[in-house]
Amino acid sequence: MTFNALDARMRVFEELNDAYALPGIYLVARIDGRGFTRLTKETHAFDAPFDARFRDLMLATAERLMTCGFEVAYAYTQSDEISLLFDPRADAFGRKLRKYNSVLAGEASAAFSVALGAPAAFDCRVCQLPSTNHVVDYFRWRAEDALRNALTGHCYWALRRTGRSAAEATAALRGLSTADKNELLFRHGTNFNDVPAWQKRGSGLYWETYEKKATNPATGAITSATRRRIRRDLELPVRQAYADFIRARLPAIETARAG
């Protein structure tokens, strides 16, 4: 059997169940840390419940994912997860979902590991969203998750610092309302309103244009050119203002109109 014949025979098994994203539809990938509870609490000495060093590792990883060959319109990170919104007109890897999942997980794992100086791994899942409204709801969902987790995390560690065990702190928080948790935290010396925005809402990354000035070496004339860079936003808005903010990040195309 020739190599070409063998190659054609075996690739059938590799590609038989490949799935492709529909053209013109929004894709959002969520990349999650694997085993990061142990990594952040046992393997490495990060502060709890939040550590700016860990935040910056996640931001650096998100930036890598925005520049590794995909057309990313917006990235959002909170805790150990990153969500990426792709331009629906993009055609990376022919929109083969297996490639999105494997490449993004690999790129995130490599970038974070290099920045940390130790092994770390991520997984990835991609969802297809049929309208701009679904995209807005997705990012509102992740922001609400960040808010809930931040409040619970601050309460949990406030209790732990009083000497309670992990089981005791978890039991004490079970069934408490949002108002109850805010009151608990206040009694332990923290006003949740004063907690940094990036801890409560996560962080966003998106492209912005700017003018870069330069000098023509031949004439000495001052020139300028439009360049593009990634902006990190640690003060994301909330509620309807955040929904409007997300809509402003969406590429406007006919095939992905609100519905």
Between CA 160 and CA 157 the distance in angstroms is: 5
Average pLDDT over residues 107-131: 96
Position 204 in a domain: yes
Length of the chain in residues, anyone? 259
Which domain CATH number covers 41? 3.30.70.3000
Two tokens, residue 110: 């490599």
**Positive/negative CA dihedral, 94, 97, 98, 104:** positive
Position 24 in a domain: yes
What confidence tens digit (pLDDT) does each residue in 185-195 have? Answer: 999 999 999 99
Position 223 in a domain: no
Q: Which residue, 81, 84, 96, is CA-closest to 23?
A: 96
What confidence tens digit (pLDDT) does each residue in 7-16 have? Answer: 887 787 766 7
**What is the DSSP code (8-state) at residue 20?**
B
Two tokens, residue 99: 């490639």
Contacts of 234 (CB under 8 A, 6+ apart): 196, 197, 198, 203
Position 81 in a domain: yes
Average pLDDT over residues 247-251: 87
Lowest mean pLDDT among 40-49, 109-118, 187-196: 40-49
Coil, helix or strand at residue 51: coil
Between CA 40 and CA 63 the distance in angstroms is: 21
Q: Would you give the distance in Å from CA 150 to the centre of its chain?
A: 16
What DSSP assignment string belongs to 129-151? ESSHHHHHHHHHHHHHHHHHHHH
Between CA 103 and CA 101 the distance in angstroms is: 6
Domain boundaries, position 93: 16-142+196-209+233-256
Q: Determine contact, residues 24/89, Cβ cutoff 8 Å.
A: yes
What confidence tens digit (pLDDT) does each residue in 46-62 have? Answer: 999 999 999 999 999 99
Position 189 in a domain: no
Strand-by-strand arrangement of the 26-34 sheet? 121-129, 26-34, 81-86, 72-78, 203-215, 222-233
Position 148 in a domain: no
Q: Count up the domains in the chain and report the number.
A: 1
Position 166 in a domain: no
Lowest mean pLDDT among 56-60, 209-213, 221-225: 221-225
**Positive/negative CA dihedral, 34, 99, 201, 144:** negative
Position 96 in a domain: yes
Average pLDDT over residues 207-235: 85
